[in-house]
Structure 1
């Protein structure tokens, strides 16, 4: 691991040893500070921004081993490499038991110090990644299905193109269109796939805590900061940070985010030291950032930085060809999650109603509808009785489709609803029945069969 991003504290009561070691580490690229005794060292460590402390064991006020104990008791996660001129197995064991990571015998060689420092640095990186991995176990790769729509196939092509690069990506789309899934696919197919993936909902974090959450803080930097916090950007080091709902980021934080993108460093709240953050940024929003720029609510320079590569997730109503396959996919996944032991069958009427619905909540809404149907279904069969009222109505306020009279039987209501959906699709297509069938996600022959059925029942208006 590169040690140039490390903050190192050298602790020794002998000025010559301390200064020579600090000078060598500085030449190697580390950011170095010094302490002449354990008391001063503990005060410096309490700020929470030191990665590794290289400390003598024998000191005038209290020992380096006691320094480790007190640091651990205070919640300080700095790694310790101990030094002593009085070598013994017992001393080494005591240092490790107290929480030290490594141990060296004086006089130390410069090459040995760098070797030990690199080893401890790698241990810290692995520990951080394991914490992130544990948090993401439930967010591992999802099963997928083949998209039928040209729009989604094009989106898959764009993802495949941009994922191997290190480009910043802006993902736009309505709520529920799968922007988070797209961000995770970009990460999983990138050179950073072995690194952490850190999702952040910018709209869910209080504004007064946003800077600390993103960039971290040192202990005592503000009221309530009783211990240091690393920050999500540093947690995502060597990986990807997903800034969801980026349009909710306050203007003051937009300036700091722009600095992070340009300088590749973050400065924790209350710290004088900037830390390198090797992070890829994927941002997402359901808002019109270009309009927000025009309204003065989003920085133009940040907008251009984020939208180096822009991908758009189309809503379900614009890719109805995907609805049947997506419904079946969600049914299979939901049945597996709910431990359904029998095969799930979905009535053709249900498939047609789901295909005609506009899905304002997109895939997220569809998943909720499917899960509800699975819970209510008798003997593994999903009928119109398991669909929620808004699906049966088809959002009449939006689509202009009349809800069938409540006095009709269920089958009669479904037929009238289908007839309204079909006639509206034909009207929207300017009378082009082939286009209407494509929009409805059904075959042309199925459309004609439906029309014949509606005509026989006297449901079709003249001229349709």
Structure 2
């Protein structure tokens, strides 16, 4: 069994360490947590496939851990352990969202069997999701983009994701090329395999071959143990080669060989090893120009750009700015533990829409974080913006005092109404379930629906007066 990241959660160190050691010997990547709080923090990173958790813990129960993870949108599979056998406890664990249940003391063979089952379930779920997307053409948008450029990009991603085609993602720094690469992986048949990101510009040239392809023990000074390399770590999954334009010419030749032969040869080894890896590469440089200048191999360029996806900068898709600001505000508020209401002054909304965002989404994340930290009582004013953003002149106003076109607040309301109505439709009209999915109270949902209906921006699929 490969490509499962496992978290072992138990307040008894001996049990936790013995189980973790066994799983490590079996080839799993294993981490540990001694209580529910520590486990939830680790799960929040989003890279754990399976959590094997005790039910009785000092801070909160394993069942509470499952509930918190599901409420936070964490898709980790849970296998629960307990020394107190009870049918009621088992039913409660499964209802909370656990996949399986074991009675202590657990046998190693039983643990392996349960992990096999979970792996098969996750693989089947991934394949079903991809096949459903292929048949119905339906998939979740990246961030609810509304611009025609990003809708076209989403359609391209939906088409190429289920294939094994090599993809080249281009665009300015900070446009979200890494997000696109991960989206391709998550909507592929390799979704349950590893996703290994590599920044080709951050690895020293003399270490890059070893990092990518591995080495055998003693192959060079300091190689005191063998290393299998990132390509082999990505086996059955996807490797994301970011900043591919920074790859030295000597390594470009070796990468071309890997793509063509689907094998890697570790440094110091005479034996090639099979690498079943999909490659997604990204760059903010003009590779065609680099080819003309002799700085990038033409044959490698054509191998990498079998399918080309270009991510336009924010200044070319301003319709997406309101939705992105809304998304980043909510995400930053959770990360910064800001649980109160967040409001933005009207002139700030207009400034954010008028600003050119040379750093694109990455710059917007920093601006939003700064504004939330500086804001008094959750109200973001012009004074909370960085100087280069704050000095941007808002759009000229018309004679009635309103800015030409929709303001950011109006666009955010329109975006939010679409998200809420989609959640209600997905819940088959169950507003309570939709509110829970959105993380808001039922009364807040009704209040927003009434507000949007009064403004005339409520989509036809929902009538706020229906109860």
TM-score with structure 1 setting the length: 0.58
Who is 2:261 aligned against? Answer: 263
Flag the 1:338–1:273 CA change in 2: closer, same or farther, 3 A: same
Who is 1:322 aligned against? Answer: 320
TM-score with structure 2 setting the length: 0.58
**Which protein shows a greater Rg?**
1
Who is 1:391 aligned against? Answer: 389
Flag the 1:332–1:441 CA change in 2: closer, same or farther, 3 A: closer
In 2, distance between residues paired with 1:228 and 1:353?
54
Q: Is the 8 A contact 1:321 1:441 kept in 2?
A: no
Q: Does 1:344 align with 2:244?
A: no
Who is 1:138 aligned against? Answer: 45
Q: Is the 8 A contact 1:321 1:438 kept in 2?
A: no
What is the 5 A alignment of 1:26-425?
127-128=27-28, 138-139=45-46, 144-394=142-392, 417-418=393-394, 422=396
Q: CA deviation at 1:393?
A: 2.8
Q: Is the 8 A contact 1:129 1:195 kept in 2?
A: no
Q: Is the 8 A contact 2:346 2:409 kept in 1?
A: no
Q: CA deviation at 1:328?
A: 1.0
In 1, distance between residues paired with 2:149 and 2:306?
21
Q: Is the 8 A contact 1:320 1:439 kept in 2?
A: no
Regions of 4+ moved over 4 Å: 123-126, 128-131, 134-137, 139-144, 436-444
Q: CA deviation at 1:367?
A: 0.5
Q: Is the 8 A contact 1:170 1:310 kept in 2?
A: yes
* Secondary structure class of the residue paired with 2:279: strand
Flag the 1:380–1:266 CA change in 2: closer, same or farther, 3 A: same
Q: Is the 8 A contact 2:383 2:390 kept in 1?
A: no
In 1, distance between residues paired with 2:406 and 2:356?
11
1:16-43 deviations in Å (ceiling 9; x for gaps): xxxxxxxxxxxxxxxxxxxxxxxxxxxx
Task: Give structure 2 stretches of 5+ with no counterpart.
Answer: 3-17, 32-40, 48-72, 75-140, 412-467
* Secondary structure class of the residue paired with 1:171: strand
1:320-374 deviations in Å (ceiling 9; x for gaps): 0010111111111111111112110111110100000000000000000000000
In 2, distance between residues paired with 1:383 and 1:171?
36
In 2, distance between residues paired with 1:225 and 1:213?
12
Q: CA deviation at 1:126?
A: 6.9
Q: CA deviation at 1:149?
A: 0.5
In 1, distance between residues paired with 2:44 and 2:295?
37
In 1, distance between residues paired with 2:182 and 2:222?
33
In 1, distance between residues paired with 2:339 and 2:270?
60
* Secondary structure class of the residue paired with 1:191: coil
Flag the 1:300–1:139 CA change in 2: closer, same or farther, 3 A: farther
Task: Give structure 1 stretches of 5+ with no counterpart.
Answer: 3-96, 102-122, 395-416, 427-435, 445-464
What is the RMSD of the two structures over their aligned residues, measured on CA atoms? Answer: 3.1
Q: CA deviation at 1:130?
A: 5.7
Q: CA deviation at 1:437?
A: 5.3
Q: CA deviation at 1:439?
A: 11
Q: Is the 8 A contact 2:142 2:154 kept in 1?
A: no
In 2, distance between residues paired with 1:222 and 1:333?
45
Flag the 1:344–1:210 CA change in 2: closer, same or farther, 3 A: same
In 1, distance between residues paired with 2:28 and 2:42?
11
In 1, distance between residues paired with 2:143 and 2:302?
33
